[in-house]
């Protein structure tokens, strides 16, 4: 048996950031990870053919680049190999009518594209971008702080001082609005609206769900203002740098080491037991980076609080995702124009109504007839991920049911995901073919991960939910993961939760891990 100050269950990026800060503060820290490698949903592998490096999950590292953790430890991370590939042409949408719209860091280019649809929208865009620095400070003041009444009151006070009562209420209204409500009152062009609304689908916000407007707003304005970054050579540059930093500070990472029980005594977490029977003691804290439903399996006698245990069991997950990784001998020849080949992301989600329909079908247990596709073109930005002249394509198929009750297109008989995933992947690739004829002929190799495959790879991705839990208002802010437990606390003394299921939610910003580490060990 070994003894540590803090033991962390699971080696996702929040765990690594948390452990690194604790180790830098002198804590003896260990992470135990069930898989052979660290990283959670941030991994890069050769999934198709040799020389093609594919990001399994997260591709966009902008949140990490702009995070408080990176700002604090940028030099150390860089010394351990962290390298970003900047993106100027960030995201675009192609449409069935042969048109497209995309956001680039050149505001004149973006505004000109919008003006082709609506001069009024181009004028609105310029106003939004000009106002964004002031607005961002207030919004990120909420999203980047611990979720407490004090933090919210402080953010509200600053907004009131800076913008007056009306301005503060406008910010609150934006954070409560649905994507469609905000987009309809802000823009005229359906093409512009659909392009921005697609970002809501990344975080379980179909167009008509309250609380989703802020995500299309932030993504659009941040990409216009600052651009985007990918990981040079793959998203795992971030994980390797975090591991290097942690190990240099004296922390330890144990892989192929599955935790099967969190040990407790007298209402306090005291350590962990591994699948091989080993036990390890934690003097100060056990930190679990797990989906809430897993706590019932890890705490043999429960937390001692029936309400908390019920809330963890009933924690709601978002619809599932399919990942399709392709090795290509050339990027798709987009009918809408060659310029689309420059963009990191191309969304194929033709309208807000189409997104709402796909979401409704998935939540009803049906395979969507036309799923939302996020087509990532990382080698357009970073050619080092593939052999010379070749490309890797990252295709995210959203939104999908965890369990299949039927097919909205009435083409695939209901079965489990292992039986239908290749046929459904063909449907998704057929959609790309419609926008880029001849695309299929470019495919040299493919690897398909269904929602079930994603959960097998990473148990936190329940039902293929890549954001580890719905971000709807009833499960966000003070309610993430449950009322009274938004500060990464649990009813068990010295037991904490981190990860996407906790505040501030999904993404690669390392927010929960870093904020908890500061809470435990100081800034």
Question: Residue 89's pLDDT is what?
Answer: 98
Any idea where the domains of the chain sit in the sequence? Answer: 2-42+63-81+234-315+469-521, 106-226
Residue pair 46/445 in contact by the 8 Å Cβ criterion: no
Cα separations (Å) of 275 from 8, 250, 262, 363, 456? 15, 25, 12, 35, 17
Measured CA to CA, the distance from residue 277 to residue 279 in angstroms comes to: 6
Q: Which two tokens stand for residue 304?
A: 């001692």
Name residues whose C-beta falls within 8 Å of residue 203's C-beta, 6 or more positions apart in sequence: 212, 215, 318, 467, 471, 505, 506
Q: How much is the pLDDT for 153?
A: 66
Cβ neighbors of 385 (< 8 A, separation 6 or more) are: 52, 53, 54, 233, 234, 378, 379, 392
Residue stretches of the chain with pLDDT short of 50? none
Residue ranges with strand state E in 359-510: 366-367, 372-376, 391-400, 406-407, 443-449, 495-497
What pLDDT is stored for residue 364 in this prediction? 98
Give the CATH H-level superfamily of domain 2-42+63-81+234-315+469-521.
FAD/NAD(P)-binding domain (3.50.50.60)
Q: What is the pLDDT of residue 15?
A: 98
pLDDT tens, 152-199?
Answer: 666 666 665 666 767 677 778 888 999 999 999 999 999 999 999 999
Q: How many CA atoms lie within 13 A of 28 on its CB side?
A: 9
Report the pLDDT value the prediction gives residue 146, as an integer from 0 to 100: 87
- Distance in angstroms (rounded) separating the CA atoms of residues 355 and 358: 5
Structure confidence by residue, pLDDT tens digits, 314-367: 999 999 999 999 999 999 999 999 999 999 999 999 999 999 999 999 999 999
What are the start-end ranges of the E strands in 26-165?
29-32, 44-45, 54-55, 84-87, 89-94, 100-104
Largest CA distance in the chain: 68
Helix runs in 337-485, H state only? 352-363, 378-381, 417-435, 451-457
Neighbours of 126 (CB within 10 A): 15
For residues 447 and 322, is the Cβ–Cβ distance under 8 A? no
pLDDT at 162: 65
In eight-state DSSP terms, residue 432 is H
pTM confidence score = 0.95
Q: Distance between CA 123 and CA 145 in Å, rounded?
A: 33
């Amino acid at each position: 048996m070994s003894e540590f100050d803090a033991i962390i269950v699971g080696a996702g990026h929040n765990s690594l950031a948390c452990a690194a800060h604790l180790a830098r503060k002198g804590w003896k820290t260990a992470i135990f990870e069930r898989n052979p490698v660290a990283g959670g949903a941030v991994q890069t592998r050769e999934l198709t053919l040799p020389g093609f490096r594919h990001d399994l999950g997260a591709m966009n590292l902008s949140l990490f680049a702009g995070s408080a953790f990176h700002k604090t430890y940028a030099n150390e991370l860089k010394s351990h190999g962290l390298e970003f590939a900047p993106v100027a042409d960030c995201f675009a949408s192609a449409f069935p009518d042969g048109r497209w719209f995309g956001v680039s860091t050149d505001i004149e280019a973006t505004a000109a594209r919008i003006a082709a649809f609506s001069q009024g929208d181009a004028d609105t865009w310029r106003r939004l971008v000009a106002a964004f620095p002031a607005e961002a400070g207030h919004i990120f003041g909420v999203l980047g702080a611990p979720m407490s009444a004090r933090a919210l009151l402080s953010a509200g006070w600053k907004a009131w001082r800076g913008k007056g009562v009306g301005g503060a209420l406008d910010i609150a209204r934006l954070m409560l609005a649905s994507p469609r409500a905000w987009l309809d009152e802000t823009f005229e062009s359906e093409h512009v609206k659909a392009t921005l609304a697609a970002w809501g689908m990344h975080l379980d916000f179909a167009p008509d769900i309250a609380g989703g407007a802020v995500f299309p707003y932030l993504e659009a304005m941040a990409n216009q203002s600052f651009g985007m970054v990918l990981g040079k050579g793959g998203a795992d540059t971030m994980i390797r740098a975090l591991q290097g930093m942690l190990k240099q500070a004296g922390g330890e990472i144990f892989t192929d080491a599955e935790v099967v029980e969190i040990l407790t005594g007298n209402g306090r977490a005291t350590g962990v037991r591994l699948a091989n029977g080993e036990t390890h003691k934690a003097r100060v804290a056990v930190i679990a980076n797990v989906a809430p439903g897993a706590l019932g399996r890890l705490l043999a006698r429960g937390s001692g609080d029936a309400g908390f245990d019920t809330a963890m069991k009933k924690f709601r997950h978002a619809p599932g995702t399919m990942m399709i990784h392709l090795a290509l001998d050339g990027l798709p020849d987009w009918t809408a124009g060659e310029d689309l080949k420059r963009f990191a992301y191309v969304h194929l989600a033709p309208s807000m109504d189409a997104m709402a329909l796909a979401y409704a079908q998935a939540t009803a247990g049906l395979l969507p007839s036309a799923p939302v596709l996020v087509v990532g073109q990382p080698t357009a930005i970073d050619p080092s991920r593939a052999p010379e002249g070749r490309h890797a394509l990252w295709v995210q198929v959203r939104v999908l049911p965890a369990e299949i009750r039927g097919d909205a297109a009435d083409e695939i008989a209901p079965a489990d995901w292992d039986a239908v995933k290749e046929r459904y992947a063909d449907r998704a690739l057929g959609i790309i073919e419609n926008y880029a004829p001849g695309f299929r002929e470019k495919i040299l190799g493919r690897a398909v991960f269904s929602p079930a495959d994603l959960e097998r790879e990473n148990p936190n991705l329940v039902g293929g939910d890549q954001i580890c839990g719905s971000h709807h208002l009833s499960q966000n802010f003070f309610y993430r993961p449950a009322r009274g437990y938004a500060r990464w606390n649990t009813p068990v003394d010295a037991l904490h939760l981190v990860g996407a299921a906790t505040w501030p939610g999904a993404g690669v910003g390392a927010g929960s891990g870093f904020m908890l580490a500061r809470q435990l060990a100081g800034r």
